[in-house]
């Protein structure tokens, strides 16, 4: 596994990462880390390799775009001094273009998304031992669906940035697509976005595979 023992691993993102985590920092007992894929990753570490003592922290925030991440980056990333950082952002950047099409001032287009994420990764990579970039996704098997097409575009941006900065790359859309061959989309997420426990397990497994975790 790429993450060394006694490392501090911080997850940042939107509601998919948030999942009712504690404030101001999601860490501790009684569900403080949230109820989603971050909790499943933490539980896997605790159950399979407790001797490694990997500290998992959740600072996801519901509704966030990459713009919002930039605004809180100093407090929620730099100040926490992570050894490893995982970033999954972009769903709301795309979604607002579809569910609130008239409110163009809140839309984060591809150019801004790419430039902002690039800036955040560039300033943070020298400060950490490792960085994971996870793509946004849309749990829709019809690849010609307008929102799916747009989300895939943002996923390509993440892939290019991961290659540019030599970070770990996790293709969450590919992970979902594999399961969608056998499962109706609403079974994994009623709105194609917010996953069931099974959906979160898909994300957790994709993340663990990305960092080379083996049981």
What tens digit of pLDDT does each residue of 63-112 get?
A: 999 999 999 999 999 999 999 999 999 999 999 999 999 999 999 999 99
Residue 66's nearest CA partner among 99, 90, 46 is 90
C-alpha distance across the termini of the chain, in Å: 10
* Overall average pLDDT of the 29-49 stretch: 97
Q: What percent of the chain has pLDDT above 90? A: 99
Share the mean pLDDT of the chain. Answer: 97
Nearest-5° angle of CA 12, CA 14, CA 17?
A: 60
The average pLDDT across 58-64 equals 98
C-alpha to C-alpha distance for 193 and 199, rounded to whole angstroms:
9
pTM of the predicted model, to two decimals?
A: 0.96
Confidence of residue 214 (pLDDT cuts 50, 70, 90): confident
Q: Which residues of 42-69 are buried (b: 16+ CB within 10 A; e: fewer)?
A: bebbeeebeeeebebbbbbbeebbbbbb
Sheet of 8-13: strand order equals 55-58, 8-13, 84-88, 130-134, 168-170
Of 15, 61, 86, 200, which residue is the catalytic one? 15
Catalytic residue among 118, 141, 165, 194: 194
Cα four-point dihedral sign 34, 98, 65, 130: positive
Annotated active-site residue 93? The verdict is: no
pLDDT digits (tens, 9 = 90+) for 110-145: 999 999 999 999 999 999 999 999 999 999 999 999
Burial class (CB in 10 A: 0-12, 13-18, 19+), 22: middle
- Give the span between the Cα atoms of 79 and 102, in whole angstroms: 36
- CA–CA distance from 80 to each of 64, 89, 165 (Å)? 19, 19, 21
Assigned CATH for 8-210 = 3.40.50.1110
Establish whether 191 is a catalytic residue: yes
């Amino acid at each position: 596994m790429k993450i060394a023992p006694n490392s501090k691993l911080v997850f940042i993102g939107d509601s998919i990462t948030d999942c009712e985590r504690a404030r101001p920092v999601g860490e501790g007992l009684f569900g403080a880390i949230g109820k989603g894929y971050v909790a499943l990753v933490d539980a896997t570490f605790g159950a399979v390799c407790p001797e490694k003592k990997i500290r998992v922290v959740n600072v996801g925030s519901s509704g966030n775009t990459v713009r919002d991440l930039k605004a809180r980056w100093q407090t929620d990333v730099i100040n926490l001094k992570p050894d490893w950082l995982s970033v999954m952002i972009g769903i709301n950047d795309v979604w607002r273009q579809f569910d609130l099409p008239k409110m163009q001032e809140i839309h984060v287009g591809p150019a801004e998304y790419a430039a902002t994420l690039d800036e955040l990764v560039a300033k943070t990579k020298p400060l950490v031992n490792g960085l994971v970039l996870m793509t946004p996704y849309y749990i829709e098997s019809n690849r010609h669906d307008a929102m799916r097409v747009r989300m895939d575009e943002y996923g390509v941006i993440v892939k290019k940035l991961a290659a540019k900065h030599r970070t770990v790359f996790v293709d969450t859309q590919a992970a979902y697509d594999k399961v969608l061959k056998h499962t109706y989309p609403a079974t994994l997420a009623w709105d194609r976005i917010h996953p069931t426990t099974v959906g979160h397990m898909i994300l957790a497994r994709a993340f663990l595979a990305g960092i080379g975790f083996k049981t």
